[in-house]
A and B are shown apart, each in its own frame.
Chain A
Amino acid sequence: MDIASWLVSTVSRALAFGVPLLWGTLGEIYAERAGVVNLGVEGMMILGAFTAFAVTQSTGQPGFGLLCAAAIGGIAALVHAFMTVTLRANQYVSGLALSMFGLGLAGLLGRGWEGKPLGNPLPTLTIPGLSKIPVLGAMLFQDQTILTYLGIFLAFLLWLLLFRTRWGVAIRSVGENPGTADALGINVTLVRYLCVVFGGVLAGVGGGYLSVAYRPSWTEGMTAGMGWIVIALTIFASWDPLQAIWGAFFFGALYHLSYRLQTYLSPELLKLMPYLFAIVVLAASGFGTARHRRRAPGALGVPYVRGER
């Protein structure tokens, strides 16, 4: 097999598989930067996947389907925000409940929608000019949907917002030390609500991508654990939107290679590779470079009660 074929298939598949992970991770980074862990990503993604499919199938508009998926993801996250920020429930329990609830509800609503192919999925783009570049064109500028490029663009935008604007300072300080942020006049509740809901919106789009672009059909449980990979990638990316880009695409590449390499390596081992890699990186990030940015937000997972420390 020639190198070009390996490069093209690996990079192009890494992008396609990495898209839902990237969107989900960007959203989770924002929620966690504001101090709220949301383990409900799997649930929000599957609700997004179902909504996007049902709406696209009914209206013929994949863009509108994705918009509705975003809205549903946001609404699901709003429930989590209400539970954890307002009622100060345990974030992990509430998130897990959201995941289970989402999977169950989508499965229930999805009866009767399964087994139907989607009439008009989100189109794949062939970028004029750029796609003609040998190798590079096939790698990056063919067979991708708009969400691939939009996701990368969004990552840069979110990085700027988080690290180069006052809003970003507000979000990070709410996640680091809500007491101080509150004393400085930042509305902790509002910031947390906004970030969690925004996280849900992105997870919804990530899920929608699965059912209207990646594999245009609806099947119960079709997210198949992607939401949990997102949780791991968030830590892996050190809560940094730019690192999420290569984290998501690197995971996508490993996932694709675990099938491509089967002729050379044991399939059982390859199947473990992406997950093994995630564990190794998580373990490694526990040691070593204790720069402040590699650390989890100080108040992550802790409900904020004014006047308590």
Chain B
Amino acid sequence: MKRILSVVLAVVALGALAFSAEKIKAGFIYVGPIGDYGWSHAHDVARRIVDEKFDWLETVYVESVPEGEVETYIDQLVRQGCNVIFTTSFGFMDGTLAAAQRYPNVIFAHASGFKRWANMATYMADFYQVYYLNGLMAGALTKTGKIGYVAAFPIPEVKRHINAFTIGVRTVNPNAEVHVRWIYEWFNPAAAKEATEALIAEGCDVFAFTEDSPTVVQVAAEKGLPSFGHYSPMYDFAPDYVVSGQIVHWEKIYEDFLVKIHEGLYTNKNLAHVDYWWLLAQGAVEVGAKPGMVINPKYEEALKAKKVNVPGLGEVSVYDLVFIRLNQMADPGITYDPFQGPVYDRKGQLVVPEGMWLSYDSLITMEWAVAGVVGPWPGEP
């Protein structure tokens, strides 16, 4: 057995050698402008990082591509000589699949989707664990017991984030409510601003959000209220008021994927089951106001002062609880999950039984709202 393994390894290593001389030209297709300071911006930051890191890699990108026209842009990138193409919006899924079948020699990877092919992988860096950690802090900081959440679209990804956040809030503050407002756009600063103002008028005093601009952070800061950044580091927008937040590191996924192609481990034949679902443990996401700053020092004292009784841990401060949970989830052998049963939805139904964790499929198709969420919830089962 050992011998067979070593032969296999040798073959792989030889293959890797054979491929390593090859140059990779990777094309990136973005749905938004790279200046959105959100989703497309984060992908482009990652592209520049990997581009600088490897001399065998050349990258090109096209931005603001309408979802229906992705195939035209893929054609264009293939003509330019790209042999790896990343498409970075859910709506690009079917177009990417069609192109993958048309260009069997090109390797494709599609972000946030679920359709794969021999030469098409999928990848996603998800934030639900980080939202939970932010929820713990938010629960400790609210004085009115109302936390505002500005959300883009009522889709499973966003619902998962709101639910994980609310579970965190309720762990610390069992009576607190998370008030949700939908803006039905990924990027519309004016909509995000008015939604935040509406939440402030309702008495919310701590803010989190899932949309693609720093608006919520800015509006909350104007009123002197704390908030949590999202996607890009937003500390600089309000150094006194950004408590923590979600930060993405797409470059971890891009690096892993491209290196494996370069080494010949991933080819245009073996990607049908390659699905990156990368979380804290893989370093694809980070909790913090900015890289390296998990909690804004201005809020350390308040979080240390707030004590909670957590089953299995006894009485701990929220500050310590954040780091305990962070370590449990960042450890490769993950020992904690926010959706750890028992979890009840807001209609009182038990959705995750005692001691159980949610499966990947349940996570990515989540439609229910956890107890503590207040406000409209389109598509609620």
Interface flag for B181 (CB, 8 Å):
yes
- Interface of chain B, main secondary structure: helix
Q: Distance in Å from the Cβ of B166 to the closest Cβ of chain A?
A: 16
Residues A256 and B194 in contact, CB atoms below 8 Å apart: yes
Contact flag A262-B375 (CB < 8 Å), given A115-B232, A224-B189: yes
Chosen A-B contacts, 16 in total, with CB atoms closer than 8 Å, are: A8-B201, A17-B194, A107-B35, A115-B37, A115-B41, A115-B232, A117-B214, A215-B215, A221-B35, A256-B194, A259-B183, A259-B198, A260-B198, A262-B376, A267-B181, A268-B378
Contact flag A263-B194 (CB < 8 Å), given A115-B37, A117-B236, A221-B33: no
Please report which residues of chain B, range 232-252, place their CB below 8 angstroms from some CB of chain A when the two chains form the complex. Answer: 232, 236-238
Residues A17 and B190 in contact, CB atoms below 8 Å apart: yes
Neighbour of B184 across the interface among A5, A111, A117, A268, CB < 8 A: A268
Interface flag for B187 (CB, 8 Å):
yes
Cα distance, A220 to B34, chains bound together (Å):
8
Residues A267 and B376 in contact, CB atoms below 8 Å apart: yes
Contact flag A215-B218 (CB < 8 Å), given A220-B35, A260-B201, A267-B184: yes
Please report which residues of chain B, range 157-189, place their CB below 8 angstroms from some CB of chain A when the two chains form the complex. Answer: 181-184, 187-189
Is the interface on chain A under 10, 10 to 19, 20 to 34, or 35 or more residues? 35 or more
Neighbour of B201 across the interface among A5, A215, A266, CB < 8 A: A5
Q: B194: which A residues are within 8 A, CB to CB?
A: 13, 17, 255-256, 258-259
Q: Distance in Å from the Cβ of A98 to the closest Cβ of chain B?
A: 19
Contact flag A219-B35 (CB < 8 Å), given A259-B181, A262-B181, A262-B182: yes
- Interface of chain A, main secondary structure: helix
Residues B190 and A226 in contact, CB atoms below 8 Å apart: yes
Neighbour of A256 across the interface among B36, B183, B198, B375, CB < 8 A: B198
Q: B96: which A residues are within 8 A, CB to CB?
A: none
Q: A116: which B residues are within 8 A, CB to CB?
A: 236
Please report which residues of chain B, range 194-212, place their CB below 8 angstroms from some CB of chain A when the two chains form the complex. Answer: 194-195, 197-202
Residues B184 and A271 in contact, CB atoms below 8 Å apart: yes
Neighbour of B376 across the interface among A1, A17, A226, A263, CB < 8 A: A263
Cα distance, A262 to B377, chains bound together (Å):
10
Q: Distance in Å from the Cβ of B170 to the closest Cβ of chain A?
A: 20
Q: Distance in Å from the Cβ of B66 to the closest Cβ of chain A?
A: 14
* Closest residue on chain B to residue A272 by CB atoms: B184
Q: Distance in Å from the Cβ of B291 to the closest Cβ of chain A?
A: 14
* Closest residue on chain A to residue B37 by CB atoms: A115
Interface flag for A99 (CB, 8 Å):
no
> Per-residue CB proximity of B144-163 to A under 8 Å, as 1/0?
00000000000000000000
Of A17, A114, A267, chain B has the most CB atoms within 10 Å of the CB of A267
Interface flag for B213 (CB, 8 Å):
yes
Cα distance, A213 to B302, chains bound together (Å):
31
Interface flag for B47 (CB, 8 Å):
no
Neighbour of B378 across the interface among A216, A260, A267, CB < 8 A: A267
Please report which residues of chain A, range 200-250, place their CB below 8 angstroms from some CB of chain B when the two chains form the complex. Answer: 210, 214-217, 219-222, 224, 226
Residues B378 and A220 in contact, CB atoms below 8 Å apart: no
Interface flag for A298 (CB, 8 Å):
no
Cα distance, A247 to B112, chains bound together (Å):
42
Cα distance, A267 to B153, chains bound together (Å):
11
Residues B237 and A217 in contact, CB atoms below 8 Å apart: yes
Interface flag for B193 (CB, 8 Å):
yes
Contact flag A219-B184 (CB < 8 Å), given A17-B190, A262-B375, A266-B376: no
Q: Distance in Å from the Cβ of A198 to the closest Cβ of chain B?
A: 25
Q: Distance in Å from the Cβ of A100 to the closest Cβ of chain B?
A: 12
Neighbour of A220 across the interface among B33, B195, B218, CB < 8 A: B33
Q: Distance in Å from the Cβ of B341 to the closest Cβ of chain A?
A: 29
Contact flag A117-B36 (CB < 8 Å), given A5-B201, A17-B190: no
Interface flag for A177 (CB, 8 Å):
no
Residues B184 and A214 in contact, CB atoms below 8 Å apart: no
Q: A222: which B residues are within 8 A, CB to CB?
A: 189
* Closest residue on chain B to residue A6 by CB atoms: B201
> Per-residue CB proximity of A1-12 to B under 8 Å, as 1/0?
100011011000
Interface flag for A301 (CB, 8 Å):
no
Cα distance, A9 to B35, chains bound together (Å):
31
Neighbour of A219 across the interface among B37, B199, B376, CB < 8 A: B37
Of A111, A217, A259, A260, chain B has the most CB atoms within 10 Å of the CB of A259
Beyond A13-B198, A220-B36, 17 additional contacts (C-beta under 8 Å) are A9-B197, A114-B36, A115-B41, A117-B236, A214-B193, A215-B193, A215-B218, A219-B187, A219-B213, A224-B188, A255-B194, A256-B198, A260-B202, A263-B376, A267-B181, A267-B184, A271-B183
